[in-house]
Structure 1
Amino acid sequence: MNSASATGDLSPDEFRTAAHAAVDWIADYLESSGEYPVRSRVAPGDVRAALPSVPPQHGESLDSMLRDFHGTIMPGITHWNHPAFFAYFANSASYPGILGELLTAGLNANGMLWVTSPAVTELEEVTLDWLRQLMGLGEGWFGQITDTASISTFYALAAARERAGLDIRTKGMAARPDVPRLRVYCSEHAHSSIDKAVIALGLGHENLVKIPADEQFRLLPDAFAAAIAADAAAGYIPLAVVPCVGTTSTTSIDPVVDVVRIARQYGCWVHVDAAYGGVAAIVPELQYLMDGVDGADSLVVNPHKWLFTPMDCSVFYTRDARALKQAFTLLPEYLVTSTSTEATNLMDYGIQLGRRFRALKLWMVLRAFGRDGLAERIRFHCELAREFAGMVHFEGGWELTAPVTLSLVCFRRAPEGANEEAIARLNAAIMERVNARGRVYLSHTKLASRYTLRLAIGNIRTDREHIELAWRELREAAQFVETSGERRE
């Protein structure tokens, strides 16, 4: 039974005791996260079955909750903080980011309006301007923090739709013969969040035009130019195009300069998806990756991917804040304040009203590491990726399947004479065995219909030993699968 204070909440002493224990555990956990199996080993329904099916009748102690956290919740956790987590896009929570998250929860501020917590809005403005400078971008960008790149992309396409001048905000799109098809363009390797945004905005999935890529998986400018010209000639409106600085499958860099030049001829909004790759521009020798971005209309980068900031923290920038505000602003009487026309009210620039104080954790990360510290860590991850690629390249029977642009390596086991179907089964079995052993966690993709393994480096605690471990695990798994004849059917 917990002890309630006069306020109705738990007592401060009970909280202090539990919170100190939790902080100590977090520090120990991050120091020893590599000792856990990376991927959770529970089966579907195991965690749910271990929990009571009805809520408690009487209050329980924080100590009992922490015991259940360790005994019931932890077995169902896949450890994204593990230094050998190489699946998807690896991320990690650094100590300053965790401290910022803790303080955010304690304040519980809602930054929907400037007046509801001025520091929430103004720290966000300052922090995102710092990040802009760190990435080498010019002046004139308006920024806000969202939860994920999916929402940031949704906002970009909503702003593009508003700027098209079709009054869709008021009249909608249904039963309007005066509204032609609105087309959105992206690489065939772009993220599925673009598909979802097109669907959610009522543009129609068939109006998302996937542009083919070259042998290095970069959007082909000539193909884009041909597609947009054909659509314009057919009476469609080219609404937006989404080039990538770091595609999801391969981290390829689309030719943003060419895309911007072509799009400008048609008044087409350019949204750059740099969710993963954008922060690499903090490294001075990698700032060329953002060439052309200053000519775009909007941009998304995700500090929660490769900038050591806890989930969730996506940054959406636009050069046309007016269009974004027109798409979303709505001011009912109960939200009118004396500063409504003087200060920035972030609720005007998106679908959500309530806003967490996400800037605090990002601000603390940027301050704790500084430009040099962040660049050093990102540079090291890219170096590790090149080293791993060298291991693959010089080992017989293995091959790289895409150029190594940043900190991701695409590769596979490809025995001489094996056909694509056999190679796919072999690599799926290798990945499953590696992941099941729990020392390393990988994911896969398909490139030109070829099954491909991905090793994504991005955890702040990943070191050379973890790359070497991954390579040992892969070779041992390949030997086991090929010797035993095991294949995933």
Structure 2
Amino acid sequence: MNWDEFSHWGQQISNWAADYHKTLADRPVRAQTAPGEIASQLEIAPPESGEPMEAIMADFERIVMPGITHWQHPRFFAYFPANAAPPSMLAEMLVTTIAAQCMLWQTAPAATEVESVMVDWLRQALGLPDGMTGVIQDSASSATLSAVLTIRERATGYTGNRQGLNTKGALRIYCSDQVHSSIDRACWVAGIGQDNLIKLPTQGPTYAIDVVALEAAIRDDIEVGHVPAGIIAITGGTGVGACDDLEVVADIAQKYDLYTHLDAAWAGSAMICPEFREALWGGADRYDSIVFNPHKWMGAQFDCAIQFLHDAGPQLNTLKIEPEYLKTTGAEVTNYSEWTIPLGRRFRALKIWFLLRSYGVDGLRTRIRNHVVWANEVAEKIGAMEGFEITTGPILSLFSFRCPGDDAMQQRLVDALNDDGRIYLTQGMFDGRKIIRFQVGQFDTTRDDVLMAADVIREVWETLK
């Protein structure tokens, strides 16, 4: 392909993208293909000769598109969103075109310096204090692993990387039973071990960690010779939106000198709205590490996670490695590859810059506030349906419900709804029962899209009764 052809097909694909988004509402939300159906249409061996783009694009439409679940669909109510506002997509086109590897300041000075400023813009938007710094990670999972590794190294006097963990004792990390599975995986990868991730019960209207049980677990571990190392708190847990009492957890961490990480991957975006901070964000400023994903609720193209750090020193002491070929001479600069696990880095800050300049913080606040209001409205409609139960009320824009019947019936309804295609929901477990999760957060959804979901649920349920 020469650059004239590239220009032609770039325009063609840009037009295709606009048409795709304009017609998304007419497509089934979840892919309706069977396992193996896509792979069976691909050639077994790679082509020996090149083919024209006309043929490639035709096969893209014929083979690939039927197997796509449409995350940008206005009636995507499953998982959490992975949004892609148009300005962030345009920024990603530029990033792909430039194709810079932004591991060091000298390999992409603009990427490094825009990243520093964008992290600070978002710090201000979330009401976090001056002096907090941060870095853009690919996802919350990577930020959490970085934090868990830092917890490990701090607890071992920064000797674990060199000496291993064989003689360090049982390093203990504490959290609630509502944390995301990425916490478990981080403890696996970091060598902490599943048995040393102490999950404690939750209580109250926000399903917060039982702080009495938390402190008791820490004291018990000290008594038997284990090594309390850190606490991971949550604001807006994946299952039902659980939110810990951040102030009290921070008090306990301070009392026992434990490193703290706050997982606010989804709900952190809502903290650009000051009215949500008092109940769900008080004490966040005291945490050593905080992660939130602008690619979830804020509209940034996936992938884009911000990890704020009260003091970058512990994480740099954990992750920084500087062979001769990566050293930077001259004036002191920031090399963000020293703050993260991967050496290679993309220019993720550009889409944040485009996004915030296009909508402004207030424009993004309006969307989030609408989603919260609409989630409460649709929860009320579902709760009024005969035999239906709201199992966990809305926390921000997430709630869960059950239809009449046992756990198997909950799954039958979820599967029937997703096969119907008009909306997309997922199941979960809470308090020993299967539930159906509902979250509102797709960037361009409307009130009509959200309230329509209750009508679809009622119609599909009638076919199962």
| Structure-2-length-normalised TM-score | 0.97
Alpha-carbon distance in structure 1 between the residues aligned to 2:250 and 2:179: 17
Q: Name the structure 1 match of 2:415.
A: 432
Partner of 2:209: 219
Matched, 1:95 2:78: no
Whether contact under 8 Å (2:429, 2:435) holds in the other structure is: yes
Choose the corresponding residue for 1:82, options 58, 73, 81. Answer: 73
| 1:436-463 C-alpha deviation (Å, 9 max, x unpaired) | 0111100011110111111111111111
Deviation at 1:332, TM superposition (A): 1.1
Mean Cα displacement is larger for which, 56-65 or 361-370?
A: 56-65
In the alignment, the residues of structure 1 paired with residue 291 and residue 262 of structure 2 have an alpha-carbon distance, to the nearest angstrom, of: 7
Report the CA distance between 1:403 and its aligned residue: 2.4
1:215 Cα deviation (Å)? 4.5
Q: Please tell me whether the aligned partners of residues 243 and 271 of structure 1 are also in contact (alpha carbons under 8 angstroms).
A: yes
Verify the 8 A CA contact 2:321 2:338 in the aligned structure 1: yes
Matched, 1:423 2:412: no
- 1:121-136 to 2 correspondences below 5 Å: 121-136=112-127
> Does 1:52 pair with 2:43?
yes
Q: How does 1:22-171 map to 2 (within 5 A)?
A: 22-164=13-155, 165-171=157-163
For residues 89 and 201 of structure 1, the distance between their equivalents in structure 2, rounded to whole angstroms, comes to 26
1:202 to 186, 191, 198: 191
Give the structure 2 partner of residue 172 of structure 1: 164
Partner Cα separation in structure 1 for residue 268 and residue 232 of structure 2? 14
2:445 paired residue number? 462
Q: Deviations over 1:18-48 (max 9, x none)?
A: 1101111111111111111111111111111
Q: Kindly provide the amino acid, as one letter, of the partner of residue 363 in structure 2.
A: G
Q: Structure 1, residues 46-66: CA drift from partner, whole Å, max 9, x if none?
A: 111111111111122223222
Could you list the per-position Cα deviations for residues 295-317 of structure 1 after superposition, in whole angstroms to 9, with x for gaps in the alignment? 11000000111011111111111
Question: SS of the counterpart of 1:243?
Answer: strand
Partner of 1:3: none
**What is residue 475 of structure 1 aligned with on the other side?**
458
Deviation at 1:395, TM superposition (A): 2.5
SS in 2 for 1:44: coil
Q: Deviations over 1:39-94 (max 9, x none)?
A: 11111111111111111111222232221211111011000010011101123211
CA contact (8 A) 1:18 1:63 kept: no
Cα distance in 2, alignment partners of residues 60 and 239 from structure 1? 57
Query: Structure 1: how far apart are the matches of 2:180 and 2:66?
Result: 31
* Residue 234 (structure 2) aligned to one of 244, 252, 260: 244
Aligned-partner Cα distance in 2 for 1:17–1:144: 37
Q: Distance in 2 between matches of 1:184 and 1:97?
A: 36
Q: Does 1:263 align with 2:253?
A: yes
Matched AA of 1:477:
V
Asked if 1:181 is matched to 2:170, the reply is yes
Separation in 1, partners of 2:387, 2:142: 42
The runs of 5 or more residues in structure 2 that have no matched partner are none
Aligned equivalent of 1:413: 403
C-alpha distance in 2 between matches for 1:219 and 1:425: 29
Correspondence for 1:397 among 387, 400, 406: 387
Give the Cα–Cα distance (whole angstroms) in 2 for the partners of residues 338 and 475 of structure 1: 66
Tell me, yes or no, if structure 1 residue 362 matches structure 2 residue 352.
yes
3-state SS of 2:32 partner: coil
Q: Verify the 8 A CA contact 1:100 1:360 in the aligned structure 2.
A: yes
Is the counterpart of residue 229 in structure 1 residue 219 in structure 2?
yes
Equivalents in 1 of 2:133, 2:60: separation in Å? 41
Distance 1:118 1:290 in 2: 34
Q: Which amino acid is the alignment partner of residue 89 of structure 2?
A: I
Contact 1:388 1:409 survives alignment (8 Å)? no
CA distance in 2, matches of 1:61, 1:344: 44
* AA matched with 1:450: R
Letter in 2 for 1:197: A
Shift, 1:320, TM fit? 2.4
Deviations along 1:258-309, one digit per CA (max 9) or x if unpaired, are 1000111111111000000011011121122211011110000001110111
| 1:445 is the counterpart of 2:420 | no
Residue range with higher mean Cα deviation, 285-294 or 368-377: 285-294
Aligned equivalents of 1:468, 1:245: Cα separation in 2: 26
Q: Distance in 2 between matches of 1:55 and 1:31?
A: 34
User: Aligned residue for 1:342?
Assistant: 332
Distance 1:324 1:237 in 2: 19
Rounded to whole Å, the distance in 2 between the matches of 1:88 and 1:337 is 42
Query: 1:417 is matched with which residue?
Result: none
Aligned 8 A contact 2:152 2:192 in 1: no
Normalising by structure 1, we get a TM-score of 0.93
More deviation, 123-132/463-472: 463-472
Matched, 1:386 2:376: yes
Letter paired with 2:7: R
Q: Could you list the per-position Cα deviations for residues 415-448 of structure 1 after superposition, in whole angstroms to 9, with x for gaps in the alignment? A: xxxxxxx421222111111100111100011110
Cα distance in 2, alignment partners of residues 14 and 94 from structure 1 = 27
Verify the 8 A CA contact 1:14 1:62 in the aligned structure 2.
Answer: no
Q: Distance in 2 between matches of 1:395 and 1:68?
A: 44
Q: Which of 300, 304, 312 does residue 295 from structure 2 map onto?
A: 304
Q: Could you tell me which runs of 5 or more consecutive residues in structure 1 were left unpaired when the two chains were aligned.
A: 1-9, 415-421, 483-489
Matched-pair contact (CA < 8 Å) for 1:198–1:204 = yes
- Assess if the C-alpha contact under 8 Å between 1:243 and 1:272 holds in 2: yes
CA-atom RMSD in angstroms: 1.2
Q: Is the 8 A contact 2:320 2:338 kept in 1?
A: yes
Report how far residue 385 of structure 1 moved. Answer: 0.4
Matched AA of 2:420 = R
